[in-house]
Amino acid sequence: MTLDGNPLANASVQLIPESNASLGTQAATTDAKGAFTVRTVSSNTPFKPGKYVAIVSKLSGSGMDNMKNEVPAMYNKQQTTPFKVEIVEGKNELKPFAMTTKQMR
């Protein structure tokens, strides 16, 4: 995952079902290289195959009044994120998510 071409470390990634809420939401945090691995909490909550949208956020600052999301709003809203993925049985390697702070035209 990159922001303006640079790896985005310590960002929160959520995979939210595109239409089938019974799939459940999964979450992960990016590493120093911007990579992430979604792991299930237990065998009782497996990561189910299906279509998901990915939203990304990275909060910085201190105190509730000073918190800022470093990721542009379009990437952290389910309705506007361009990131759509399909998860299948077995290991899944997703294409890197490339984000930009520049205005989209």
Kindly state whether residue 71 falls inside one of the protein's structural domains: yes
The string of pLDDT tens digits covering residues 16-30 is 999 998 888 889 999
Kindly state whether residue 104 falls inside one of the protein's structural domains: no
Kindly state whether residue 9 falls inside one of the protein's structural domains: yes
Location of structure tokens 């939210």: 16
Count structural domains, the chain: 1
3-state secondary structure 14-28: EEEECCCHHHCCEEE
The string of pLDDT tens digits covering residues 32-71 is 999 998 876 555 667 889 999 999 999 998 877 788 999 9
Kindly state whether residue 64 falls inside one of the protein's structural domains: yes
Whole-structure pTM over 0.75, yes or no?
yes
User: What CA–CA distance (Å, rounded) separates 76 from 69?
Assistant: 9
- CA torsion sign for 13, 15, 18, 20 is negative
pLDDT of residue 103: 62
Kindly state whether residue 105 falls inside one of the protein's structural domains: no
How many C-beta atoms lie closer than 10 Å to residue 48's C-beta?
A: 15
Q: Residues 67-92: what's their mean pLDDT? A: 92
Kindly state whether residue 45 falls inside one of the protein's structural domains: yes
The domain in which residue 76 lies consists of 2-99
pLDDT band at 105 (very low <50, low <70, confident <90, very high): very low
